[in-house]
């Protein structure tokens, strides 16, 4: 029996007045991003595999399919497929569970403003060097980490009231491939 999982998935396009003009996102038919997404709190936690597959619909549009495999105690695992479209004008985009998925090249520098936050520059995170974007909302800081070469989201972290939500990129076929995913 499938149970409904209330997950919000949205595609948000941002057009800040002072932002540089949009640059092409490196989307291609068959691109995938695979993350481990999780929550930890005083009562324990759970890590869920999340994968987004992109499919070219036409010359101006890509479809993203977000696939999650959710297991609840005492219940069998079930799969949730969610769809969103990304217009071919290739402006920066975000997904509500993971956050911003890509940071355009003009914003990959210290002090740049993006996604209602500020880029703090290169920092070490999870054994890799990444670009850190800090967004403050409702009194909580959310940290997003981007691969400096490809601009794709490497992971994120939100700590609030003794709980932690996080994500980490574990596999992709994007080009250039993030250095931390390349073998020794």
Instruction: Give per-residue pLDDT as tens, 108-151.
Output: 999 999 888 999 999 999 888 999 999 988 778 899 999 998 88
**Domains contained in the chain, CATH given:** 32-173 (2.50.20)
With bands split at pLDDT 50, 70 and 90, how would you rate the model's confidence at 60? low
Q: What is the pTM of this model?
A: 0.76
The residue among 96 and 67 whose pLDDT is bigger is 67
- Buried b or exposed e, range 75-88, using 16+ CB within 10 angstroms: eeeeebebebebeb
pLDDT recorded at residue 145: 96
Is the pLDDT score of 168 beyond 60? yes
| pLDDT tens per residue across span 82-113 | 545 554 444 446 676 788 888 888 889 999 99
Report the pLDDT averaged over residues 56-60: 76
**Preceding amide of 131 cis, omega within 30:** no
The residue among 41 and 135 whose pLDDT is bigger is 135
Is the pLDDT score of 16 beyond 60? no
- Buried b or exposed e, range 2-15, using 16+ CB within 10 angstroms: eeeeeeeeeeeeee
pLDDT recorded at residue 75: 54
Is the pLDDT score of 10 beyond 60? no
pLDDT recorded at residue 20: 52
* Strand ranges inside 59-176, DSSP E: 61-70, 78-87, 94-95, 99-100, 113-114, 117-125, 128-137, 140-146, 153-160, 163-172
Going by C-alpha positions, the residue among 141, 42, 70 that lies closest to residue 99 is 141
Is the pLDDT score of 156 beyond 60? yes
Is the pLDDT score of 182 beyond 90? no
pLDDT recorded at residue 183: 58
Q: How many residues does the chain have?
A: 184
pLDDT recorded at residue 73: 62
């Amino acid at each position: 029996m499938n149970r409904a999982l209330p997950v919000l998935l949205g595609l948000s396009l941002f057009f800040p007045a002072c932002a540089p003009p949009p640059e092409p996102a490196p989307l291609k038919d068959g691109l995938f991003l695979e993350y481990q997404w999780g929550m930890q709190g005083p009562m324990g936690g759970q890590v869920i595999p999340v994968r987004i597959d992109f499919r070219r619909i036409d010359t101006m549009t890509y479809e993203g399919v977000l696939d999650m495999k959710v297991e609840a105690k005492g219940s069998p695992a079930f799969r949730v497929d969610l769809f969103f479209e990304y217009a071919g004008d290739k402006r920066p985009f975000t997904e509500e569970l993971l956050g911003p998925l890509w940071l355009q090249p003009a914003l990959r520098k210290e002090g740049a403003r993006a996604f209602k936050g500020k880029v703090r520059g290169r920092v070490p995170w999870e054994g890799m060097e990444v670009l850190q974007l800090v967004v403050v909302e409702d009194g909580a800081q959310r940290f997003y980490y981007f691969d400096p070469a490809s601009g794709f989201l490497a992971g994120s972290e939100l700590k609030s009231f003794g709980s932690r939500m996080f994500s980490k990129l574990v596999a992709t076929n994007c080009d250039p491939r993030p250095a931390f995913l390349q073998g020794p």
